[in-house]
Structure 1
Amino acid sequence: MIAWRAFMAGIPGALVSAVALAQSLSGPESIEYHARLDRTLISNIYNGDIQVRNAAGTLGLFTAAPTAPYGIELLAGTLYVVDSGHVKGYDIDSAAPVMDLPLSGAGFLNGITSNGVDTLYVSDFSAHSIYSIDVSDPGLPVQSAPVSTGTETPNGLAYDGRGNRLLIATWGGNAKVLGLDLSPGATPATLIETTLDNLDGIALDCHGALIVSAWSGCTSGGCLRRFNPPFQLNTPAVAIVDDLSSPADIDYDWVSAEIAVPESGSDSVSFHASGCEPALFASDFER
């Protein structure tokens, strides 16, 4: 059964005017759950901000510092943001800037994930490549040479710790999910061939199943689809939900076992049951 959470209409008037301006989403692109404070963070392309939504559904402003934020990723107390050719970092509690790395040779940077320890991975949609960035010290980040995805256009990214690989959602008709082994010298290979079009977000659930958001090629509108392991080229897609409006970069919330979806076409977010059980204690390495 689909679990929906409606947004509350307003923000208390006692809040400062900057927060009041952040009441509505505009081009929500990426969403991340922050378990310690039970809240979600949402990047907004057109507002040029990161908003925060609390458990009651109230929206507030985390930071208006970015210009056009796309993917966001929480790692070791820092919220990393893909923003106009840069990867920026903000302290998760104070929103103070801690990193601003312009990626050399970048085209259109889009998705981001991490290995949960010290490395970020960023997709370059237009240059068909994947960057890795060592953020052991966010004040001194180190960019590695990008890895090409060939003719495939990379979008959303997810890290598969069990396989020490990166999972890559691709854009286009009959879109593919690629796997990139993270050992030196490896190149991406097709993991799953889908009948979906324009994959955007990608995540792994509690069973190691792969969940993607697709803009089209669904039963109706945009959708979420699950692919259960072990993965093969023709692994069938299992329907989770249809009629989504341009679903972008998703997140799987281990605590609620819901999939959080920014719907960029309707300036909203929605939450959907994954089929997993909620976790009382969840891995919180990235928060």
Structure 2
Amino acid sequence: MKSIIKFVFLFSVSFLMAQSYQSAESVEFDPVNNQWLVANGSRIIADDGEGNLSYFGAGNASHGLEVLGNTLFAVASNRIKGYDLSNEDEVMNLIIPGVSFLNGLTNDGANTLFVTDFSAGKIYSIDVSDISNPTYTELVSNTGGTPNGVLYDGTNNRLLFVTWGGSAQVKAVDLGTNLVTTIITTSLTNIDGIVDDSLGNYYISSWSPDRITKYNNDFSISEIVTTPSLNNPADIGYNQDTDIMGIPMGSSVIFVDLSLLSNSDYNANTYEYLVSSNPINESSYIQFTLQDAEFIYLRIYDTSGKLVKILMNEEIQASTHKISLADLQLSSGVYFSRLTTQKGTSLTKKLIVN
């Protein structure tokens, strides 16, 4: 297996405010309220990515979190709870009799949740199409390991889950047959979380060594993508719109810009994507060139990954395009402009506003 080592800039640490992290275990981006939600034992904490913390209503979660539509689902001491993202009210409280230690949680983007039972080596599916009357099914009775984080992979009609212990594995559940296969046996110990990006790459968090490892779509190439300053990274979360990963580590949560991993120099040259001048002033502009007509997203995010301005969201013709930055009306600070194309290219430039 080819192994490539790269490093990523960790740019935001959530410091403790009136609320504090004591057992941050799982993190999930909340697109409804443009914030991160963190399972922190007895309470769910909302984190704006800039160190400002608040309680998410009276919600509690011990492990996995998943946003599905307008609902946050949470593993809370062997129950699966649901919370309305608009008003933070509890809308579901499901008990699955006989479970041992519910842990990882994922969803199919429609009406089904999947949850791992860490100690019993099982996986359950939960139908939440009627949230007032959810039903569950034992999907896998024996995972052949200790299942932790889990990810729905709709492209391949499967679940991917990671295992605890030495020589930890990434395994798959075929959702057509419910059969379990091993994708890869790693040299890592205690894999906790798994997420994917918009390009079909996978990221896993491990406790030994303490790191995030990136795999390509068939797990044949791996990259070490974080500095070795992590400490027991748990159930990671990922915002595909901004390439921001949230990493919970017990007493803290950090946020990582994965776009800094991409080798975008070639693509940047291909699209001639530039910002002039920077720091931003009344004459500054973003310029890029398209060789073909494409649908383009041009957006600005702050350092926490929050979307702060949409500059373009449309199909445009092949040409050189210049977008004025004269009227950004942004507070002083560092921002990122992100050009995303229909062909899958994602390019990022730092903006400095004085």
TM-score by length of structure 1 reads 0.84
Structure 1: give runs of 5+ residues left out of the alignment. 11-19, 283-287
- 2:278 maps to none
Between structure 1 and structure 2, the one with the greater Rg is 2
The number of equivalent residue pairs is 258
Q: Which runs of 5+ in 2 are unaligned?
A: 1-7, 265-296, 300-312, 314-339, 341-354
Deviations for 1:164-219, whole angstroms, at most 9, x for unmatched residues?
A: 11010110101000011111x42211011111110001001122111000000x2x
Check if 1:78 corresponds to 2:74: no
Aligned letter for 2:138? Answer: A
CA shift, 1:8, in A, is 5.0
Distance 1:88 1:63, change over 3 A: same
Residue 115 of structure 2 corresponds to 122
SS of residue paired to 2:10 = coil
1:213 corresponds to: 205
Q: Which residue is equivalent to 1:268?
A: 252
Give the corresponding residue for 1:16.
none
Pick which of 253-262 and 125-134 moved more: 253-262
Match of 1:14 in 2: none
AA aligned to 2:234 is A
Shift of 1:252: 1.4
Partner residue in 1 for 2:14:
7
Distance (Å, rounded) in 2 between the aligned partners of 1:164 and 1:138: 24
For residues 70 and 298 of structure 2, the distance between their equivalents in structure 1, rounded to whole angstroms, comes to 21
Aligned to 2:45: 51
How large is the RMSD of aligned CA atoms in angstroms? 2.0
Deviations 1:58-112 (A, max 9, x none): 100003343x521111111111111112101111121111111101221100010
Matched with 2:188 is 196
Q: CA deviation at 1:162?
A: 0.6
What is the alpha-carbon distance in structure 1 between the residues aligned to residue 169 and residue 16 of structure 2?
39
Change (3 A) 1:122 1:9: closer
1:55, distance to aligned residue in structure 2 (A): 4.5
Identical-pair percentage: 38
1:151, distance to aligned residue in structure 2 (A): 3.0
Secondary structure of the equivalent of 2:233?
coil
Aligned residue in 1 for 2:24: 28
SS at match of 1:126: coil
CA distance in 2, matches of 1:56, 1:238: 28
Alignment correspondent of 1:17: none
- Work out which of the residue numbers 206, 211, 216 in structure 2 matches 1:228: 216
- Residue in structure 1 matched with residue 230 of structure 2 by the alignment: 244
